[in-house]
A and B are shown apart, each in its own frame.
Chain A
Amino acid sequence: MSQQARSLQDQVARTEKGEASDLLKPLIQIEGVTKSFGDFVAVNNVSLTIYQGELFSLLGGSGCGKTTLLRMLAGFETPTSGRILIDGQDMTRVPPYERPVNMMFQSYALFPHMTVEQNVAFGLKQDGLPRDQVRQRVAEMLDLVELGHLGRRKPHELSGGQRQRVALARALAKRPKVLLLDEPLGALDKKLRERTQLELVNIQENLGITFVVVTHDQEEAMTMSTRVAIMNQGRILQVDTPHAMYEYPNTRFVAEFFGSVNIFEGPLLEDEPGHVVIGCPDLSVPIYVGHGISSREGATVYAAVRPEKIALSKEPPADATYNTATGVVEDIVYLGGESTYLVRLDSGRLVRVDLQNQTRSSEPELTWHDRVHVSWEHSNVVVVTS
């Protein structure tokens, strides 16, 4: 992440709290938007504010309504209720050809009977731009995506990665206020996808155009976005920076969807402003959490611990009153930079622990069937109530 993106994140956070003097201008305001297809509610009462210059990701599983929400921003679907404002203007019922947004389609949707240059020029010609300006802008755009030498090819004469870049150039050519991207990298193979993610972020920062990206790949959302919204069954569960989303998920669903996590379920034993204690049948001792929550004692809550925040050792931890358990190493998965250990606790519960591989020795300190202690700091647990 660039420093520029980081400071934008801070500015967004200050704007959301209303404490900044340099308040950001909301570019897209989605106000209570619902979209039903017959009885089926595809998007359910979604409200969202996206600011100028953001690279905003909509993340969620298949069929959760991401594409439908994006299509409402583009104008291809009309909300059943609610309002959409772009740059302060009500766009709810404005047709797609009059909106200051452009979309890059999942299938790329290149015009098969036109050359690459004609594809990129199409939108500019619709605006009635003079011919020499069109030509200049097309050349500029093709250079931006490094396709200057392929301008005369037809789409079917291009590889998948090249088509993706033509689609990007075409959607950017009109310099829209917002670019909507529906799974822009979905059709690329893994290596190409990772390289293209970085290129996309670079282009976005250089042009300063606001991007709204739909994806179902949480790693992609994490690497690219200034902020992420997680959707499930037509609703938005949480809107946050990738960092906050990962460290402070607000629901079990978000914790599990955004990275891997160990969830311990149990009743709330102590609920103080500065800490809570949870009784957990999976562990021999209770879980101590270093932050308060608003729930009643006795309610069932979930403690979420990320695999890389758990320590593994043959020795018992110094303080064994909270947050620890014993078990046996059942499986080890070597992943290069790190290894994943699956530990079967004495209660029968399986816990996932990720450890860095800091040395090159082929004999790890811990091996199969070792008896180990798992433990974690009380600041590394998050409690969610649903």
Chain B
Amino acid sequence: MTNRSPFLISALAFGFAFLYVPILLLIVFSFNESKLVTVWGGFSFKWYGELFQDEQLLGAAKISLLIAAMSATLATLLGTMAGLIMARFGRFKGRTLFSGMITAPMVMPEVITGLAILLMFVVLEELTGWPDGRGITTITIAHTTFAMAYVTIVIQSRLSQMDDSVEEAAMDLGARPLKVFFLITLPIIAPALVSGWLLAFTLSLDDLVTTSFAAGPSSSTLPMVVFSSVRLGVTPKINALATIVVGLATLAIVMAGYIMHRQEQQRKRAMQRALAEQDAL
């Protein structure tokens, strides 16, 4: 073991504190009996109870989940196509422009993206009568727009790691290009599809700025409701909500980690077995 200086240890402690003390405080205060967020009045589940009676918050959560699921699915679909073109189409005219345009929503200020999308919806509605007002559909479309950029990057990097000759081998054995895609490429990049989908899901779930532009009166998402209620004063109910979200996220991460760890272990064991057999020959 190397000699760890007190400086390094305090740097580590400070870093962790910076990241996690606010979240810890939030969790602790969600069990606070008192109505005042900053005054400890004893342990209780009171605010969790109130949370599950708040129709407005629950409704918003439902809308948010629905939008997140739909836009993540759409973004994964479109992002896969874009990633495929970027990784497999070779050089074509306007490739640099295409790749720049795909990643633009990632660097563009969200206010501008939101405004642009709002403008598009307004013009479209005037010309074609669709979309009829703004609501869940328009939010979903807006979320798909920026989430797709992230999904494309994830898929493209997975595809460029993949050995091209695997696809060529399938074609060599008689599979037409479309079949190669569904039988070979898609199953191999499936993990990237899943992580792209999850990424798009979380991006959609906590987006506030773009959503505000694309939302209508009857389609407030969870972040919008939380944000507006916090402006009237923070209630411990929000702390309870946040604690649940943190808990779910932690659970998801731990589960994903566990599954991946187990797969890795299985792979290692199988590899060792194969090597042992070869040596025995």
Contact = CB atoms under 8 A, between A and B. Distances in A.
Interface of A: 74-76, 95-97, 101-103, 105-107, 109-113, 122-123, 126-127, 153-154, 156-159, 161-162, 170, 174
B166 A97 contact: no
Given A123-B173, A162-B278, A109 B270 contact: no
A96 B176 contact: no
A162 B271 CA distance: 12
A105 B277 CA distance: 24
B279 to A, nearest CB: 9
B253 interface: no
B168 A76 contact: yes
Interface residues of B, number: 25
Contacts of A153: 270, 274
Contacts of A159: 274-275, 277-278
B188 A112 contact: yes
Contacts of A126: 173-175, 179
A96 B171 contact: yes
B54 interface: no
B187 interface: yes
A111 B163 CA distance: 10
A74 B166 CA distance: 14
B35 interface: no
Contacts of A174: 173-174
A109 B167 CA distance: 8
Interface of B: 163, 165-166, 168-176, 179, 183-184, 187-188, 267, 270-271, 273-275, 277-278
A38 to B, nearest CB: 11
Nearest to A157: B270
Contacts of B270: 153-154, 156-157
A310 to B, nearest CB: 41
Contacts of A102: 172-173
A159 B168 CA distance: 23
Contact of A109 (B163, B179, B271, B274): B163
Contacts of B187: 113
A97 B175 contact: yes
Nearest to A102: B172
B136 to A, nearest CB: 36
Contacts of B165: 105-107, 109
13 contacts: A95-B171, A96-B168, A102-B173, A107-B165, A110-B166, A111-B170, A113-B187, A122-B170, A122-B175, A123-B173, A126-B175, A153-B274, A156-B271
Contacts of A158: 274
B274 A97 contact: no
Name which of B165, B183, B270 has the most chain A CB atoms within 10 A of its CB: B165
A96 B172 contact: yes
A97 B172 contact: yes
A358 to B, nearest CB: 34
